[in-house]
Amino acid sequence: MEFSARYVALGDSFTEGLGDTDASLPNQVRGWADRAAEQLALHHPDGPGAFGYANLAIRGKKMKQILSEQVDAAVAMNPTLVTSYAGINDILRPKVDIDAMVAGYGEAIGKLRATGARVLIFTGFDASSSKVFAGIRGRTAVYNELVREVAELHGAELVDYWRFREYNDWRLWGVDRMHMSTPGHINMANHLLETLGESARIPMPELPPIPVRTTAETLKDNAAWTKEYVGPWISRRLRGVSSGDNLDARWPELRSPLQQH
């Protein structure tokens, strides 16, 4: 089927949709990109049937993998819109050459822009409110500044996640504290729609009350979280494996986002 508008989403777990669970969908997640694509299809001037969407993102992918596995595939789809979020899995490693990493990213963004597509790239989140991930704040700030230069150089547009302070509210994060919750994904979809200049917005669900916990309860919760999520996450990195090693892209070919849910 030929589509007059073609949106391709690239990246890692952030774009795949982790934290926004939906057992009926591939990889059992939905995510902000799916949600934004649905709105774009519904409001596309040529009608919902004219809008195609592909999501090539896979959890755990590092920059080189995203560039080698997803960029050419996106170019082959002759996209009119591309979103890309990449590099944070690299930043989380003990050693990373951020300058070299973003240089390669810039080349890829230039290649995507050469298709004539609008290309939107994200800055990394400011994790200063996280006791576990606050240590990467400096690395992320350097990465973000280089990403801003990439956007300026290649005419890409910026979704400035670093400045979205509402994400300091942990109700926008999932139980693993590493990926956004369903409300977090809906909020991010709305940020994308706003950046695109679209008037459509997805209603935000009512957030639950902030729980009041004693110090003992907090320590117990943190211990359980460390055992269930942090331990396996560290183990995978020590073993050089990824949670996405045996997964395929959720939507590897263009199709109507209205058929996906």
pLDDT digits (tens, 9 = 90+) for 81-95: 999 999 999 998 889
pLDDT of 240 over the 70 cut: no
3-state helix, strand, coil in the chain (%, to 5): 50, 15, 35
- pLDDT tens digits, residue range 25-65? 999 999 999 999 999 999 987 877 899 999 999 999 999 99
The DSSP letter of residue 246 is T
Spatial distance between the Cα atoms of 127 and 160, rounded to a whole number of angstroms: 14
- The strand pair at 51-55 and 118-122 is best described as unpaired
**Given a cut of 90, is residue 227 above it in pLDDT?**
no
Q: 114-128, 159-173, 211-225: lowest mean pLDDT where?
A: 211-225
Q: Spell out where the chain has E strands.
A: 5-11, 51-55, 81-85, 118-122, 157-159, 251-255
Percent of all residues in the chain with a pLDDT value above 90, rounded to a whole number:
73
Q: Give Cα 87 to chain centroid, integer Å.
A: 11
Q: How far apart are CA 135 and CA 91, in angstroms?
A: 11
Q: What is the Cα–Cα distance from 174 to 172, expressed in whole angstroms?
A: 7
Number of domain units in the chain: 1
Query: Which domain does 251 fall in, by range?
Result: 5-259
The pTM of this model reads: 0.91
CATH number at residue 246: 3.40.50.1110
CA 132, chain centre distance (Å): 20
- Phi/psi of residue 213, each to 5°? -120, 145
Most confident among 43-47, 188-192, 238-242 (mean pLDDT): 188-192
How much is the pLDDT for 31? 97
pLDDT value at residue 223:
65
> Are the CB atoms for 225 and 177 separated by under 8 Å?
yes
- In this model, does residue 10 exceed pLDDT 90? yes
Band of residue 238 on the pLDDT scale cut at 50, 70, 90 = low
